[in-house]
């Protein structure tokens, strides 16, 4: 019999109570496979995971956990940023002193800012490494082009996050790094000047720029990051989870439930990483130099470290060519799912053992060629002087650009020929050469450029 007064309908209050009970009250640990899968499906956070995962995907050396680590850094970055907003004053007159007050008068204020600073830098590093990992084991292939593009967009978004936050302390380091960085934007064809003008709110770094950077940093970018990350996770599930090697027809792979296997690993790794970050942040505070002084630029005036590879490139090429070259390379990387479609090597690092050898060759090439070309251009070859009858746009722009692109093509065909490599394996070597070349240019810019951006020894 139905209880007295039962109408067959559940009221909104009853629904809310039921939801509250399920969401807030401790639930017993699932004891069987079906219950564990149901727990994943009903949990808001765990709903981002598939209910089951292939056992090989749990191996640390398969993904290195870089996607999850990046998510952790993003969470710490946003949480610490929200707390910093309570004390930061986005005005030229008070931005610097508000940071000083935070670090000297607020309990754990220096630690909080240090956590925010280092999590932002770590997020940039792990996001880039995550993209490299996805490339090296072919995770962008077989219908995953959309998520590959989303991943590249997220990397660019993280760079923008770091760039907009760089100015906020309003010290000498931040002011002149952003001054150099926004000047680099002007060299982007067609839209560069518009972007630079929008960010600066004028022609120079001042109150308008600080207000714009702050607004973008605390509102537009976090909202965009959260939305894209959510879509990125959803696409992973939609595409069948982490990419796996193709199996022979009828071959089965053992699957494990997310609870407890994956969750235990993630929680343990998160606690270790958070502890390490706290210890590092406590020992290495976020940098804060003297108050920004537009009348006294440092020598040399350098961009933020993640733009130093581009700034180094500008020393050797016409600005237009120096922006076009990485733009063309980035476009080629974004288009990889459409011109590297071989699916038989998905989930295999470097495509094969031969691919690993080719990747190592790409590293060796970059270690030899990049420093050599920098030295040759610095001390021996001056194309505008050698070709005075040509405009600098051609002699120092078009010619170096074509030589660089031609050099990449030569490396690709050399790798294919000398190793009898497949198209996919040769791309591994070329991608490795490009990424390590950027790394070397960044090191040169950070450590080997002194006053007037001349080459110096760092010791």
Q: Which of 249, 274, 298 is the last residue of a domain?
A: 298
pLDDT in tens, 134-184: 999 999 998 899 999 999 999 999 999 999 999 999 999 889 988 988 888
Question: In this structure, are 321 and 262 located in the same domain?
Answer: no
Residue 91 domain boundaries:
48-298
Q: Is the pTM here over 0.85, yes or no?
A: yes
Question: In this structure, are 273 and 330 located in the same domain?
Answer: no
29 found inside a domain? no
Is the separation of the CB atoms in 340 and 424 below 8 Å?
yes
Question: In this structure, are 76 and 213 located in the same domain?
Answer: yes
87 found inside a domain? yes
401 found inside a domain? yes
| Residue 333, token pair as written in the block | 């990387």
Q: How confident is the model at residue 45 (pLDDT cuts 50, 70, 90)?
A: low
Question: In this structure, are 66 and 162 located in the same domain?
Answer: yes
Round to whole Å and give the CA distance between 371 and 442.
Answer: 11
Is the separation of the CB atoms in 221 and 157 below 8 Å?
yes
pLDDT in tens, 54-80: 888 888 899 999 999 999 999 999 999
Q: DSSP secondary-structure letter at 109? A: H
Cβ partners under 8 Å of residue 273, min gap 6: 69, 72
35 found inside a domain? no
- Which pLDDT does position 36 carry in this prediction? 66
pLDDT in tens, 418-434: 999 999 999 999 999 99
24 found inside a domain? no
Round to whole Å and give the CA distance between 393 and 74.
Answer: 41
Q: Which of 236, 264, 298 is the last residue of a domain?
A: 298
Q: Which has the higher per-residue pLDDT, 27 or 106?
A: 106
Q: Which of 298, 332, 367 is the last residue of a domain?
A: 298
Question: In this structure, are 249 and 385 located in the same domain?
Answer: no
Name the pairing type of β-strands 52-54 and 255-257. antiparallel
Question: In this structure, are 293 and 314 located in the same domain?
Answer: no
Question: In this structure, are 252 and 319 located in the same domain?
Answer: no
Question: In this structure, are 259 and 330 located in the same domain?
Answer: no
Round to whole Å and give the CA distance between 202 and 320.
Answer: 22
pLDDT in tens, 307-326: 999 999 999 999 999 999 99
Cβ partners under 8 Å of residue 375, min gap 6: 455
Question: In this structure, are 361 and 425 located in the same domain?
Answer: yes
Question: In this structure, are 277 and 399 located in the same domain?
Answer: no
202 found inside a domain? yes
* Residue 108 backbone class (left: φ over 0; alpha: ψ -120 to 50; beta: rest): left
Count of domains in the chain? 2
8 found inside a domain? no
Q: Contacts by 227-232 with C-beta closer than 8 Å and gap 24+?
A: 228/150, 228/153, 228/154, 228/157, 229/71, 229/74, 229/154, 231/150, 232/147, 232/150, 232/151, 232/154
pLDDT in tens, 356-402: 999 999 999 999 999 999 999 999 999 999 999 999 999 999 999 99
31 found inside a domain? no
**Residue 347 phi, psi (nearest 5):** 85, 0
pLDDT in tens, 220-251: 999 999 999 999 999 998 888 888 887 766 67
What secondary structure does DSSP assign to 238-303, as a single string? HTTSS--PPPPTT----EEEIIIIIHHHHHHHHHHHHHHHHHHHHHSPPP--SBP-TTS--SS---
Question: In this structure, are 294 and 315 located in the same domain?
Answer: no
Q: Which has the higher per-residue pLDDT, 16 or 404?
A: 404
Q: What is the CATH number of the domain that holds 57?
A: 1.20.810.10
Question: In this structure, are 204 and 103 located in the same domain?
Answer: yes
């Amino acid at each position: 019999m139905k209880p007295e007064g039962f109408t067959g309908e559940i009221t909104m209050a009853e629904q809310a109570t039921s939801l509250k009970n399920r969401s807030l009250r401790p639930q017993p640990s699932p004891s069987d496979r079906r219950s564990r899968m149901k727990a994943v499906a009903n949990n808001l956070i765990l709903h981002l995971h598939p209910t089951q995962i292939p056992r090989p995907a749990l191996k640390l050396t398969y993904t290195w956990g870089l996607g999850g680590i990046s998510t952790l850094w993003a969470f710490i970055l946003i949480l610490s940023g929200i707390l910093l907003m309570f004390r930061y004053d986005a005005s030229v007159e008070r931005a610097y002193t508000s940071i000083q007050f935070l670090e000297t008068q607020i309990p754990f204020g220096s630690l909080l800012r240090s956590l925010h600073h280092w999590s932002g830098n770590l997020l940039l590093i792990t996001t880039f490494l995550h993209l490299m990992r996805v490339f090296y084991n072919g995770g962008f292939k077989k219908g995953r082009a959309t998520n590959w593009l989303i991943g590249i967009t997220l990397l660019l978004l993280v760079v923008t996050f770091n760039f907009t936050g760089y100015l906020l302390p309003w010290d000498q380091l931040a002011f002149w790094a952003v001054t150099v960085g926004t000047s680099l934007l002007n060299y982007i064809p067609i839209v560069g000047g518009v972007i630079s003008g929008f960010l600066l709110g004028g022609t120079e770094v001042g109150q308008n720029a600080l207000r714009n950077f702050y607004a973008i940093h605390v509102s537009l970018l976090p909202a965009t990051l959260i939305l894209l990350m959510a879509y990125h996770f959803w696409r992973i599930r939609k595409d069948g989870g982490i990419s796996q090697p193709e199996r022979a027809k009828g071959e089965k792979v053992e699957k494990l439930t997310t609870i407890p296997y994956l969750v235990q690993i993630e929680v343990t790794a998160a606690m270790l990483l958070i502890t390490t970050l706290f210890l590092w942040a406590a020992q290495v505070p976020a940098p804060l130099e003297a108050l920004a002084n537009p009348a006294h630029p440092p020598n040399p005036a350098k961009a933020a470290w993640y733009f130093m590879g581009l700034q180094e490139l500008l020393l050797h090429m016409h600005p237009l060519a120096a922006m076009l070259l990485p733009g063309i390379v980035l476009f080629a990387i974004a288009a990889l799912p459409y011109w590297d479609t071989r699916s038989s090597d998905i989930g295999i690092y470097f495509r094969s053992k031969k691919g690993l050898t080719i990747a190592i060759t790409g590293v060796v090439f970059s270690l030899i060629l990049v420093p050599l070309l920098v030295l040759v251009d610095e001390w021996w070859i001056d194309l505008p002087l050698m070709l005075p009858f040509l405009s600098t746009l051609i002699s120092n722009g078009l010619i170096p650009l074509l030589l660089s692109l031609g050099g990449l093509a030569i490396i690709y065909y050399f790798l294919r020929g000398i190793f009898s490599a497949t198209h996919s394996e040769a791309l591994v070597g070329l991608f490795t050469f490009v990424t390590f070349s950027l790394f070397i240019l960044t090191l040169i810019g950070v450590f080997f450029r002194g006053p007037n951006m001349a080459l110096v020894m760092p010791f």
